[in-house]
Structures are given as structure tokens and as C-alpha cells.
Amino acid sequence: MKLYFIVIAVILLAEGITKPSVAIGVPDCTDDPYGGSQGCCGSYFMQTYPVDCASHGDTNSFCVYSHHCSCSNGYECPDSGKSVECASGLVCVPKCDGSDCICGSNDNSVDCSAHGDTESFCVFNDHCSCSMGFQCPSASDVSTLIEGGECHPGYKCTPIPPNVIVSDLIIKGGNGNKDQYLDNVTDGDLTTYGTMNKIKKPWVSVMVSKNLVAAKWSVTVTPPQDKKKKKKLAGFEIWTGTEAGSLLVKCGGPYSKKKLRKSSSITAVCDKGQANFGQQNYITITIPNKKKKKTKIEIAELSVSQYTL
């Protein structure tokens, strides 16, 4: 299946690899940008990602108002009281008649395949395991999203959505070429990296597109391959805010030297925030640097995707 990408300006590519990851969970909606068809139900104008209503075989299902799936006889919507009209982002599944569609305890039971992952399965009747192209919070760390692995109890497999657009990269104090920095961290090439002049408590901010409706951002930072540069990134944090440099809500960090040494990339989950409090459309990477030494933020790749659980 082809990838579904939103193309407006700059698309972020790498998530810890030299080429874009294949998000097979999201259908290609190139020919249906408004998401009104069975195989491409939902648009980024209305929900987080499109889904294929017939992914489980319901060939008579259809899309309602470019928003949600409606199921035919013999199929139903998962997690919605046997309804035939599904919540946004859910697909039609065969009527549940066994443990294959109930994974977990009574309080945390879910249908692992609710979002279209037909190859997902339940592990020890406790938690879901997803196939490639789908993601969930990790079984070992609920704050970390993983692709194609075991989930934290109570969570389903959701499609890995397209990377969203970032723009207006700003470096604290204007130290460095911001256009070159943005180019280097979104080119999918791990041999290039964004750099800046040394400064006390440095930060780099990007604005995420305001046109997309998402509950959360998934932010992935890939350190430089050079061991010395990776070591100097130790202690960095990921925040969201309402403007460049705003440290309103921390998403992750500080990340230790040990964490950076063992991980090819770091992923943090960020809440977008509520409209009445100001939506947090800026993502900031900073090194607080309590010793007040001058340092700089050098990263190889930065990618942001949106998702819902």
C-alpha cells in the first residue's frame, strides 16, 4: 500500500533511519484528498488520519460525511456498543464472538485491530502486539511510541500517520543559519545535521501546521552519528508552547548520555493543548544547562507526526 502524505511545504522524513519509514497503516488518499470514499474515509481537515473502512473485509461499508465509517450486516464498530456507525478513526470489524477481539482485563479490554491492523494479536490475553505500519505506547514505557511491537495494556494499534509540516524554525539569539538548520534536519540524511553557535541555555523551535486537527504530537529527534556530538546533546528536553522558545509543557527529557548512547533516536509524545488555553503549535528543543556553560544543539533529524489513541 502506498503512503499517504500531506504536501504543503516541507515534509519531515526520517525517524532514526536514512530513508522514510513505510507507514503502511495509512491509505493513499492522493486521489481523494477530502476522504469521502470507503477506502479513504476521513480527511486531515476533519480528523487525525484517514482509514480504510473495508480493511477487515466489509465490502459494503461506506464513509459518512468524509468523517467516519458505517458498517454493513455482519460487521460492527469496535469499542462503540455494537453500533454500525463508528467513531472517527475506527474501521468495521467482524462481530465479536470470542477472545480474538477482546484483549486485556475488563477495565482495559480493547480490540487490537480496531483501527485496521488486521495482523495485530493479543499477547497472553493481556495486551496487544501491532504489525509494521501501526504504533502504540510501549509495553515497557507508556510514554514511548513504538512501531510493530507490544503495547502497554489498554491501548490499541493505530496507523502511523503522515509526518506533519514544520516551518519557521527559530534559533535562540539568531545564532546560526536557520534555513540551513531546517534543511539539514529534514533531509532524511543522517550524515548531515543542524548546528548553531554556542550559547547559554540554547533552544531551537519549529512551528507545527495549525491546519491539522490532532490530539497529540509524536516528536522524534535523531542525534548526530558522531559519538562526541551525541554526547554533547545529553540533557536535552522537548517542550511545547504557544510561541517560539515557550516552555509551557514538557514532553520528554532530560535525556541522559546513557539513553542517547543506547538509542538511535528519541521519541516523545506531546499534548497539543486546548484551544481555550492556547494551542501549543510550537515544539522547542532545549538544553537547560544548569552549570550555565555555553553549548549548542546539534541534531541529525527532526520529525513530527500526529496521532490519536
Is 240 found in the same domain as 125? no
Rounded distance between C-alpha atoms, residue 71 and residue 93, angstroms: 8
Give the domain-ending residue among 95, 112, 145: 95
C-alpha cell at 189: 540524511
Please report the pLDDT score of residue 43 as a whole number.
65
Question: Does residue 56 fall inside a structural domain?
Answer: yes
Please report the pLDDT score of residue 268 as a whole number.
84
Residue ranges of alpha helices (H) inside 188-232 are: 227-232
Is 102 found in the same domain as 85? no
Continuous segment of H or E residues that includes residue 262: helix 257-262
Is 206 found in the same domain as 259? yes
Rounded distance between C-alpha atoms, residue 148 and residue 267, angstroms: 15
Is 68 found in the same domain as 144? no
Residue-range definition of the domain harbouring residue 45 = 24-95
Question: Does residue 152 fall inside a structural domain?
Answer: yes
Please report the pLDDT score of residue 202 as a whole number.
92
Is 116 found in the same domain as 30? no
Question: Does residue 18 fall inside a structural domain?
Answer: no
Please report the pLDDT score of residue 254 as a whole number.
93
C-alpha cell at 248: 509551557
Please report the pLDDT score of residue 255 as a whole number.
92
Question: Does residue 138 fall inside a structural domain?
Answer: yes
Please report the pLDDT score of residue 67 as a whole number.
82
Is 185 found in the same domain as 73? no
Please report the pLDDT score of residue 245 as a whole number.
92
**Cβ neighbours for 183, distance < 8 A, ≥ 6 positions apart:** none
Is 282 found in the same domain as 240? yes
Question: Does residue 9 fall inside a structural domain?
Answer: no
Question: Does residue 49 fall inside a structural domain?
Answer: yes
Distances (CA, A) of 126 to 110, 112, 142, 153, 158: 10, 11, 15, 6, 18
Is 146 found in the same domain as 56? no
Chain centre distance of CA 288 = 25
Please report the pLDDT score of residue 5 as a whole number.
30
Please report the pLDDT score of residue 66 as a whole number.
82
Give the domain-ending residue among 160, 175, 208: 160
Is 57 found in the same domain as 141? no
Is 145 found in the same domain as 111? yes
Residues of the chain with pLDDT under 50: 1-24, 47, 275-276, 309
| Number of domains present in the structure of the chain | 3
Give the domain-ending residue among 160, 191, 213: 160
Question: Does residue 291 fall inside a structural domain?
Answer: yes
Is 299 found in the same domain as 171? yes
Instruction: Check which CATH number belongs to the domain holding 175 and give it.
Output: 2.60.120.260
Rounded distance between C-alpha atoms, residue 277 and residue 275, angstroms: 5
Is 70 found in the same domain as 135? no
Question: Does residue 223 fall inside a structural domain?
Answer: yes
